[in-house]
Amino acid sequence: MEHPTAMFENLRKNVNSHKGMSEEEFNLGTTFFAPKKLRKRQYVLQAGDVCKWLVFIERGCLRLYSIDDLGKEHVLRFGIEGWWMTDLESFQGLKPSAANIDALEDSELLLIGPESLQKLSDTVPIWDRYFRVIIDNEFKAAMARISDFVGASAEDRYLNFLDLYPDLFQRIPLHQIASYLGVTPQTLSRIRKQLSKHK
């Protein structure tokens, strides 16, 4: 099955940043992905289901979030074009996820499941090395997120957010960002005002 080159534009850039993969190896690898379009608010994962995919975002924006016993949403992560998104614990452990992944914008995704991932890794070994780096990065991102909440002030979490997602304030509602930071929208507004005074 062949896919249009444009469909894999950002994946190609991501792979290139890790170096060493030939055009032939990349093109063969793309045949193992399943393209999927999500409309805004559609899910790629819902809590209680096993996460079946590593998700690459070609276009759009996703969020990974959980809902507590009181019905409050807690945003754990955002993903934008050129990024990978998954619930790694559910994907690797094949157990039900406590999280949801949905689209904050109309999005174009590339999905690869465990069986296709294994076949691709066996067929083109350089993809196996690439995915090891991706999964390691996912783990490090999760650890950094935990560290952020344990040891950083709300202001520091906001500054870290700006480093990680510099363009998201133009793309998603402030209450989503506040949820990610673990503060109220009012607190976020106050932090932004205070920091703008020091510029």
Write out pLDDT tens, residues 96-145: 999 999 999 999 999 999 999 999 999 999 999 999 999 998 888 888 88
Lowest mean pLDDT among 5-19, 78-92, 98-112: 5-19
For residues 42 and 57, what is the distance between their CA atoms, to the nearest angstrom? 14
Task: State residue 20's pLDDT score.
Answer: 83
For 82-105, give one letter per residue: b (16+ CB within 10 A) or e.
Answer: ebbbbbbebbeeeeebebbbbbbb
Domain chopping of the chain, boundaries: 5-151, 154-199
Task: State residue 199's pLDDT score.
Answer: 59
DSSP designation for 71: S
Q: What is the band of 5 on the pLDDT scale with cuts at 50, 70, 90?
A: low
CATH for 5-151 is 2.60.120.10
Write out pLDDT tens, residues 35-45: 999 999 999 99
Write out pLDDT tens, residues 20-69: 899 999 999 999 999 999 999 999 999 999 999 999 999 999 999 999 99
User: Do residues 84 and 54 touch, judged by C-beta distance below 8 A?
Assistant: yes
Retrieve residue 194's tokens.
């205070």
Angstrom CA distances, 76 to 63, 80, 90, 139, stand at 8, 14, 15, 13
SS3 of residue 96 by DSSP: strand
Q: What is the band of 157 on the pLDDT scale with cuts at 50, 70, 90?
A: very high
